[in-house]
Amino acid sequence: MPAKDLGTKHLCFKCSTKFYDLKKPDPICPKCGADQRDAVATRPTERKSRLSAVPKIIAPVEPAEVSSSEEEDEDEESEEIAGDDEDA
């Protein structure tokens, strides 16, 4: 048995109900009454699609340099640890 032509299938932008417009001139949701012609455009504009295709360049992060005072502190700590081992 062939399917009947019910018109254009719609998905309501407010309540997400699927329905056919039954070939009526106004596509109005039977559940919430929203006119589907008032829906916000869902397609991206040309400008957005062009910008998303451009790769983003991220600058590499350089490691922080250890200052000379921190190096001296590390040397003193290693000497103290080595001196503790000699006493035992």
Each residue of 30-87: pLDDT tens digit? 999 999 888 877 666 566 556 666 667 777 777 777 666 655 666 666 666 655 555 5
Residues with Cβ < 8 Å from 79, sequence gap 6 or more? none
Helix (H, G, I), strand (E, B) or coil at 85: helix
Are residues 21 and 27 in contact, defined by beta-carbon separation less than 8 angstroms? yes
Q: Residue 58 falls within a domain, yes or no?
A: no
Asked whether residue 71 is domain-assigned, the answer is: no
User: Can you give the pLDDT at residue 11?
Assistant: 92
Helix (H), strand (E) counts: the chain: 2, 2
The verdict on residue 34 lying in a domain is yes
Domain that includes residue 16, residue range: 1-41
Residue 2 lies in a domain: yes
Q: Tell me how many domains the chain contains.
A: 1
Please tell me the predicted confidence (pLDDT) of residue 30. 93
Q: What is the pLDDT of residues 6-27, one digit of tens each?
A: 999 999 999 999 999 999 999 9
Q: Alpha carbon 7 to chain centroid distance?
A: 36
pLDDT of residue 15: 93
pLDDT for 49 equals 56
